[in-house]
Amino acid sequence: QVQLVESGGGLVQAGGSLRLSCAASGRTLGRNAMGWFRQAPGKEREFVVAINRSGSITTYADSVKGRFTISRDNAKNTVYLQMNSLKPEDTAIYYCAASQSIISRTSLNPIEYDYWGQGTQVTVSS
């Protein structure tokens, strides 16, 4: 079992930056591929970025490429999402997720993730 807790969300002006953290407990994150998803009001949950177990492979949604960076510190059991050049359309609740089955690849499919955090709100003002 893995428990995930996101932090780092908040209110920021357009063009600003935030760094989200996802801390895991109950099991070492080094065994899990990880992902970040987001859900804006009235919209479906959407894929943002994923990273494989070793950190050697990352996959980004087109909407965040060049602005967001995912990283992981397996020794600290933490995954990070650095978000730069934020836009109002990035406003959403951001969730991190961990997969038991994915090892060497990444996945954009939320169904492949077994554990989810409670989410952290990111609001970008124009």
pLDDT tens for each residue of the chain, 126 residues long: 789 999 999 999 999 999 999 999 877 666 789 999 999 999 999 999 999 988 999 999 999 999 999 999 988 889 999 999 999 999 999 999 999 888 789 999 999 999 999 999 999 999
* The pLDDT of residue 45: 96
DSSP run (H or E) holding 11: strand 10-13
* The pLDDT of residue 31: 76
**Residue with tokens 């801390």, as numbered in its chain:** 23
* The pLDDT of residue 29: 64
* The pLDDT of residue 57: 95
Q: Which amino acid does the sequence have at 24? A: A
Residue closest to 82 by CA, chosen among 125, 49, 41, 118: 49
- Listed in sequence order, the residues at least 6 apart from 54 whose beta carbon sits closer than 8 Å to its beta carbon are 104
How far lies 79's CA from each of 51, 95, 97, 102, in Å?
9, 12, 10, 16
